[in-house]
Amino acid sequence: MEITQFTMEEILDPTNIIEGKRYEFILDVEIDEEDELYHEAGIEIRVLIGEKGESPFILNYFILEKAEGEYLDFALEDDELEEILTFCKEEIAKL
């Protein structure tokens, strides 16, 4: 899996109910053709990141097939989640 493009947005909580910060990342990823996640139109991963203290963490993620915009019922492997979290941490640190 390779992240080719992304967008990032801080999710604001006007009620101040949520502790810490929240970010939404939309990641365009390139998947190997032999991977079960592969779709010809491409895959997008929507990742919600929480930041409380010094270490951001993944709150939740959703995998979408780009052509139809349909959610796919797959779980990412631990190494893929670690790769995504590392990428997101690096981008948050740039703020």
Q: How do residues 10-33 score in pLDDT, each as one tens digit?
A: 999 888 888 899 999 999 999 998
CA 27 to chain centre: 6
Torsion of CA 51, 28, 46, 74, to 10 degrees: -120
- In whole angstroms, what is the distance from residue 78 CA to residue 57 CA? 13
Q: Indicate whether 54 pLDDT > 90.
A: no
CA dihedral sign of residues 66, 71, 72, 77:
positive
CA 39 to chain centre: 18
**What is residue 62's predicted lDDT score, i.e. its pLDDT?**
97
- CB atoms under 10 Å from CB of 45, counted, come to 21
Mean pLDDT of 36-57: 91
What is the reported pTM? 0.91
